[in-house]
Amino acid sequence: MIAMTDEMLRRFRAGFEAAVEAGVPEPTAMTLATVGADGRPSARTVLLKDFDADGFVFYTNLGSRKARQVAENPEVSLLFWWRETGQQVLVDGRAERVDDAEADAYFASRPRDSQLGAWASRQSEPLADRATLMQRVDAARQRFGDGDVPRPPHWSGFRVRPRRVEFWHAGEYRLHDRFCFVAGDGDWTMERLYP
């Protein structure tokens, strides 16, 4: 995978900032689509926590359905939809685990209750009732007391390294503007697509 170009980063940053200025309720929300070993697709919303020339980062419990599917097939898609500005960004790429130092740094920045929740949750597993979850949160709270809450070994992040990025801008009469960047041999090519 090759790093995104300055132009690609500029386009993404401009779209993201426009979404923030327009009051999009959660501009970091992105749909993550995965395909497991069974060949069945699955999609859910996750939150973008970082982006740079190497890709787009999200975090999760490594036992979750999404993380298990990424382990089975690391080829994924992301979709940002900023309705208020009429823009989408579509990303196809490969998900790779972030290194431990990056995951540790992000985990340390989370609110304490979110840190405790990461220890308590068995994400995507059946849960008898909410009381059981809250008991697990209380157990984590007692375990760590007033001290620092370390990152659980079952919790980390993924960076989606793009191989295709499309910037979509809504146009009048459905005459949208679409600009597609595709990774090639050591470089990106850009083409305009029909709406």
Q: Measure CA 130 to chain center.
A: 26
What sign does the CA torsion over 94, 100, 105, 109 have? Answer: positive
Q: Retrieve residue 40's tokens.
A: 């069945």
| Cβ–Cβ < 8 Å for 93, 1 | yes
Alpha-carbon gap, residue 92 to 70, rounded angstroms:
13
Is 97 one of the catalytic residues? no
What span, in angstroms and rounded, lies between the C-alpha atoms of 45 and 36? 17
User: One of 11, 68, 97, 174 is an active-site residue; which one?
Assistant: 174
Q: Crossing angle of helices 130-144/112-120, nearest 10°?
A: 120
- CA distance linking residue 76 with residue 96, whole number of Å: 10
Q: Catalytic amino acids? A: 174
